[in-house]
Amino acid sequence: MISIVIPALNEAESIGHVLDEVKRNFPNAEIIVVDSDSTDGTADIAKSKGAKVVNESMRGYGYAYMKGFKNAGGDIIVTLDADGTYPPSEAKRLVEMIGKYDFINGERLSNSSKEAMPTMHMIGNFILTLLTRILFMVRITDSQSGMWVFKREILNDILPSSGGMEFSEEIKIRAASAYCYKEVPIEYRRRMGEKKLRPWKDGIRNMVYLFKLRITGNIKMKNRKCD
């Protein structure tokens, strides 16, 4: 079974469209929306679309995913954002490729327009990804992507400790260090609704966290190669 986990915070403008698209591409999948005390009716819309809605009162990207993964029953886990930036059709393509891979990351940089990813975000992503490659010696080209497909069997080994935005880069570092990791270029679309990313604050926090993780993170360097 496939479980699709979608964190959401005040995404009423987009969540219905996203779930409709998810259901067209994954008619038999378990769909879990992790709502972080939205005040705009996001949870109600998600329920009306047939999604399983779980609440996570602790604010943070990582906390939302931890709650979602805990409630997911599938042997393949897919992650998407609730803002419409990641096309479910691209997630379906990655699921069809999972095969010998343990973790596939959707790489956005090859196909992103300036409308979808502003120049400041592109530069910040480049810096964080370069630092990730230097510190952890992993072949990652989009450390901040939010579309992942991975086998549940590796979850305990790759689950990050961070509850914030750093969760995204840490899960990829752990996966790329120990398992068969693959990156595939995907389409990335302009988000619907209000932007929540704080480029400077989130970028600096992510950078500091990378150094902390390098010193104290106990990263398992299995260096498993893909067959």
DSSP string, 68-102: HHHH---SEEEE--TTS-S-HHHHHHHHHH-TT-S
- Are 78 and 2 spatial neighbours (Cβ–Cβ below 8 Å)? yes
Residue 181, H or E segment = strand 181-185
Could you tell me the pLDDT band of residue 117, with boundaries at 50, 70 and 90? low
pLDDT in tens, 146-175: 999 999 999 999 999 888 889 999 999 999
Residue 220 or residue 6, greater confidence: 6
- Are 82 and 7 spatial neighbours (Cβ–Cβ below 8 Å)? yes
Give phi and psi for 132, each to the nearest 5.
Answer: -60, -45
Q: How many CA atoms lie within 13 A of 157 on its CB side?
A: 19
Would you state the pLDDT for residue 1? 94
Would you state the pLDDT for residue 124? 81
Give the Cα separation of 108 and 122 in Å (integer).
10
SS3 category, 185: strand
Q: How many CA atoms lie within 13 A of 179 on its CB side?
A: 25
Predicted TM-score of the model (pTM)? 0.91
pLDDT in tens, 2-37: 999 999 999 999 999 999 999 999 999 999 999 999
- The CA–CA distances, whole Å, from 70 to 2, 45, 79, 211 equal 14, 22, 13, 28
pLDDT in tens, 22-80: 999 999 999 999 999 999 999 999 999 999 999 999 888 899 999 999 999 999 999 99
Residue 19, H or E segment = helix 15-25
Give the Cα separation of 185 and 106 in Å (integer).
6
Residue 227 or residue 43, greater confidence: 43
